[in-house]
Amino acid sequence: MHMGLGSEFVHHSVSPVSSPSLSRDLQSDGSIPKLLHSLHELESSVLSLAANDVYIFSGSQNEHILVWDKKTFQLKTTLRGHTGSILALVYAEDRKWLLSSSGDCTIRIWCTETLQPVYTIDPFYESGAGDLFSLAWSPTLQTIYVGCQNTCLQWLDLSNLPTQPLSVSSSPECLQRVASSSNPDSGTVTPTTAALRKAHKFFDSYPLHERRPADIFARNSLASSSSQSDDNIPRLVIPATNVIESVHHGYIYCMSILDEGEAGVKLTTGSGDETIKMWSCTKSGVELVHDFTCSYGAVLSLVIRGDTIYGGCQDGHVKVLDLETKTLIRTIIVQEGVDVLSLSLIGSDLYTCSANGQIQRYSGSFDCTASWNAHDGIVLSSLITNDFNVPTTFKLLTGGNDGHIKVWDIVPPSPRFRGAYEALFNYSNDEFPEDSLTYALSKFVSIPSVSSSPSLREDCRQAAIWLKKCLQQLGAYSQLLPTCEGKSPLVLGTFKGNQSSQDQGQTPRPRLLFYGHYDVIPAPPQGWDSDPFVMNGRNGYLYGRGVNDDKGPILAVAFAAAGLLYRRALGVDVVFLIEGEEECGSAGFEEAIQKYKDQIGHIDGILVSNSTWISEDSPCITCGLRGVIHCSLEISSNLPDLHSGVDGGGVREPMLDMIHILATLTNGHQAVKIPGFYDHVRQQTKEEEELYQRLSAVTNKSASSLASRWCQPSLTVHNIEISGPKNATVIPGTVKSQVSIRIVPDQDLNTIADSLCQFLRKSFDELQSSNKLQVQIVNSADWWLGQLDDPWFIALESAVQEEWGAEPLRIREGGSIPSVPFLEKVFRCHALHLPMGQSQDRAHLPNERMSLANLQRGKEVVSRFLAKIAMMGSRG
């Protein structure tokens, strides 16, 4: 259904929300921008806005463009020529042009220095373009893009045209071709050519009551646009070769362009068909890259920042989309059912302008930080521009159907991550400066990528984007891979080994996969001696959340690969696979790996660095992890919470049932009583017993204690939660508990999980309780053992010994890393685990740290290891 861009919009019923907004309301009394000035045009609507350093340009419903002095806010002049509403304005700074499109089905180009018309462009007419709702300009391609009412996308390359106005008689040769050839595809025509097109039955129609057939003069727009005043203005026609018909199933209301120079030009288009389409633009034309479905109303406004698209919709939602992974990140609910007609961005702040006259500001984490009533009516257009007097300050311009342009004083947001996106490296040699690793780590740590916090979900994505760009700067080919909706993406980066004579033979380069995670656990400020997200160096240690787990090791391995690459000594392909949900269950990880397995490619071995030494002084290699099974229990009475003084003794209490069945899980010596639980536990070898005795001397812990933590299974009851107010007189109607089991070689994960559930149900059934029990396995991970006779394991041990001058200790961990055994099974190769931190580095605790020595020497260990396995060749 057509939605006019005048004083009224047609509203549609709102569909249910599938992706709710998680935005918080953080605005305060002083957060609303100050109104500096108001510009007014009588009895008109401000449909479009543009600005340069000197002027503000406003496109009105009254068929002309007002030019306001940016310094004095006075009307400078009026640009006349269009015969329909001015639907879009774009300032092309590189050419000093103002581009305008109109309901009269023409595009005009104006010189912003002389304020004179330069060219008139007619769209390709064969199918009737209708109203030209949207424009975009690419400085790189010198091309204008036009979104049309008839659902087609058109474009025209203007690179060969001079910037200053020219008459037809003095135009270059390309402008002197006349229409006597009757060829509408020629690209340029004189004004008389407009009359040669065919009448369109819809766009050139008269009102139904007039009962007249369609003709090209029905709206009198094209006839007027060929008036005497335009005789000396060169006129161009977009050729048929520059048209894609029916790119949407609705009017193309909005466009936004991302022009990254040599990196490419991307165009996005939004339509009444509830979709946003992304196009790759080149000199040869445009190609569809992806189609985003927004589902809930026409897309009326678009802006792009970096890798993110924001689409304002008719239903009051703003869809936030990721350009690279092509996924929906967030739905911001501005106001249900109130059209979002314009969007503007400055830094990480998004300003939304709505049909109820409201403007709202959202931060980089999508929290609402300001909301105010800006216009008496509909806010139709908006623009952020610099101040004339102080170029480093900025103003928000908004236009409404009340005829006003409002000028608001706004403050750009502070950088979210303390300069995280500054260029990391500035070097001229084939090696990085010595402090590049710590400098990069300080930027990485500054991004609070806490995966368990919904309010920091966007920060996790920004950490992924940062890491992708960091790997690219270090020489890797990197990209983001989506996992599941609403979760953080994977970072896939590949350092390709240097070509060598070996590559010309039969043996391909080995391929090592490095697995890690860029997300971190929360870091409440209590207990920290410094800001956890500002890396701080003290007494040889780097402090900050993630320096040890796992951002420090990730960058140490990346710099090791990059250093070899720049010395032309990297004989291995190093594939980085870094996830962003490890600290809260790795949601979507396994499914994504299966989906992108072919893209990741063949893998010969896996390296992990996600733990610490057993002591402060002895380097280690981790060669075993326990598995884990997390189980949730719930016992409910189907009664409300009761008072113990009134109902105590008269009801079956869920709490007592829970205590009874939990007590059946272990005996008085903490041995697990599940039948068959210990049947397949692998017995210690004599060599392992000797190792534990040796480790006992290093750690001052008994050998039996180490063996129990690493080689024996265990069961833990983590908590008991109750419904109700939690005071001493309440009988809770529902009681929940969390139980986990750590498993070891050679226990079977699924068998133990099934046995646990069966045992709990049997214990509950024996109570003959009237209450109900629910048991669920929440997540699980298998145990893992390294292959000590693997040549790559031997190479890693040798690299550690060469760097540290001491034979590394072979240790295990009582904890679990679910992805390690999974990756081994998927890629059918062995994993290696190199801890870099020391035992007192406090990962997951306040004052998490990593020593400078361990970070740098960890990088050197990896460099030595990569050199060694390069000599072995691929094992595929």
Q: What is the DSSP string of 264-286?
A: -EEEEEEETTSEEEEEEEETTEE
Cα 521 from Cα 513, distance rounded (Å): 24
Query: Which DSSP helix (H) or strand (E) runs through 459?
Result: helix 457-474
**b/e map 768-783, b = 16+ CB within 10 Å:** ebebebebeeeebbbb
Interhelix angle for 654-663 vs 749-767, to 10°? Answer: 130
Bridge partners for 382 per DSSP:
398
SS (H, E, C) 797-866: HHHHHHHHCCCCEEEEECCCCCHHHHHHHHHCCCEEECCCECCCCCCCCCCCEEEHHHHHHHHHHHHHHH
Q: Which of 131, 402, 459, 582 is catalytic?
A: 582
Taking Cα atoms as reference points, which of 429, 438, 358, 449 lies closest to residue 398?
A: 358
**Three-class secondary structure of residue 65 per DSSP:** strand
Cβ atoms of 398 and 380 within 8 Å: the answer is no
Given the structure tokens 């298998």, which residue do they identify? 782
CA 122 to chain centre: 39
Torsion of CA 237, 238, 241, 242, to 10 degrees: 170
Q: How many residues does the chain have?
A: 876
Cα 815 from Cα 171, distance rounded (Å): 76
Query: Catalytic residue at 519?
Result: yes
Cα 610 from Cα 716, distance rounded (Å): 23
Interhelix angle for 457-474 vs 551-566, to 10°? Answer: 20
Q: Which of 519, 549, 803, 824 is catalytic?
A: 519
Cβ atoms of 633 and 658 within 8 Å: the answer is yes
Cα 716 from Cα 629, distance rounded (Å): 10
Residue 221 one-letter amino acid: S
Q: Which two tokens stand for residue 120?
A: 């008139």
Bridge partners for 256 per DSSP:
268
CA angle 419, 421, 422 (to 5 degrees): 70
**Three-class secondary structure of residue 291 per DSSP:** strand
Cα 650 from Cα 637, distance rounded (Å): 13
Q: What is the DSSP string of 237-265?
A: E--GGGEETTSSSS-EEEEEEEE-GGG-E
Given the structure tokens 């229990």, which residue do they identify? 633
Q: Which two tokens stand for residue 140?
A: 């790189």
Cα 560 from Cα 570, distance rounded (Å): 10
Within 576-685, residue ranges assigned H as helices are 589-595, 597-600, 644-647, 654-663
CA atoms within 13 Å, Cβ hemisphere of 362? 27
Cβ atoms of 527 and 591 within 8 Å: the answer is no
Cβ atoms of 430 and 566 within 8 Å: the answer is yes
First to last CA, the chain: 58
Per DSSP, 229 falls in state G
Active site residue ranges: 519, 582
